[in-house]
Amino acid sequence: MRKKRGLFFKNPVFVSGMLGFAGIILFSVGCAAPNAQKRIAAFSTALSIATTNTTDAFETVDQKFYCTKVALLVNNYDEKGFNPNTEMHFLAGQDLETREQLFKGLQRYAQKLADIISDTRMKEFDAETKAFGKSLQKLRENDAFKNINSGASQANINAFVTAVDVVGCFFIDYKREKGVREIVADMKQPIESICNTLVSDIGQPMDKAGAGGFGLRNQSWIQYEVMLKEHISYIDHHKDKFDPVTKAEAIARLPAIVEEQYKADLTLKATQDALKKLRMTHDELVKAFDKTCPTLENLIAELIDEGKRIGKFYKSLAKE
């Protein structure tokens, strides 16, 4: 039997075939890793754009709220004067900071996936990352965090709290025991829950009867309604004092406010859609190691392209 085995492995045709097969396997593995690394890095970029736009959405609505309050102050100052205790912002500092911390958590999660796949020597995260994970978990202790999902069912609230806790644990407890594919699979539900909560947080505008609105989109819609009303009042109070050019400019501002109202709402909806697509893209991320994954690559490309368009609108409003 030994003699036959020796002859068997000395067979040049067999040895050549085995080496060729091994070469194919090594080539496939070698190609998969760089492709996966590239795809995960692209996902990190797409996620960063989506979460940055979501941050801008909240900051933009808050800034418009402030502008509306200033317009009210100007129009009513002679009768009511100025009360320094008037709330001039829609979101308190902690409300914005809490959401920004959540967005940073998502961004850092995606970046760490890219780091893990690119650095095979990484055994655990650094102290700063672990500290960030702990700060993420502590968000549950503040009222601003509770307000994010206040209108949801108790089951959804619990799922959201658990999801943020899981992301925090990822930063704190990570050890190189699982590959990126396994990590992404484990994080599927937490990322879905966080994205769903943020979509709900943006909400929807009221209907024509003035009912059914909630969240950021509703607040944005109301602000433009108030802004329009105040601008009409401003024109009515000063129309006899305006010169023709100033009067024309003031009147021309009215349809511009209405147009901006619709554009702002469409952009907020697009921000919601991007968060939904982000959730779908993360679900597909387990396929990053496949030889081909057109769905994942298309979703990432769409997220980046749409994100850039959304970002331009928020930047244009910030300049006003």
Which pair of tokens denotes residue 118? 């690119």
Question: How confident is the model at residue 167, as a pLDDT?
Answer: 95
Evaluate whether 251 touches 235 at the Cβ level (below 8 Å).
yes
Where along the chain do its domains lie?
Answer: 14-318
- Which pTM value belongs to this model? 0.84
The helix or strand, by DSSP H or E, that contains position 55, with its residue range, turns out to be helix 12-80
Q: Is the dihedral of CA 273, 276, 278, 281 positive or negative?
A: negative
Q: What's the rounded Cα separation, in Å, for the pair 21 and 289?
A: 20
DSSP-derived secondary structure letter, 204: B
Question: How confident is the model at residue 320, as a pLDDT?
Answer: 62
Question: How confident is the model at residue 1, as a pLDDT?
Answer: 44
Burial class (CB in 10 A: 0-12, 13-18, 19+), 100: middle
Q: What's the rounded Cα separation, in Å, for the pair 196 and 15?
A: 55
Which pair of tokens denotes residue 248? 């024309």
Q: What's the rounded Cα separation, in Å, for the pair 273 and 199?
A: 8
Looking up tokens 């009511």 gives 80
Q: What's the rounded Cα separation, in Å, for the pair 196 and 203?
A: 11
Q: Please tell me the number of Cα atoms within 13 Å of 234 on its side-chain side.
A: 21
Give the phi and the psi of residue 204 in degrees, each rounded to 5.
-155, 155
Question: How confident is the model at residue 62, as a pLDDT?
Answer: 92
User: With left for phi above 0 and alpha for psi between -120 and 50, is residue 83 left, alpha or beta?
Assistant: beta
Question: How confident is the model at residue 134, as a pLDDT?
Answer: 96
Q: What's the rounded Cα separation, in Å, for the pair 71 and 230?
A: 7
- Compute mean pLDDT per 10 residues along the chain, 320 residues long, and list them: 42 44 38 77 95 93 91 88 90 89 95 87 88 94 85 86 95 85 94 94 91 93 94 90 93 95 95 96 94 94 95 81
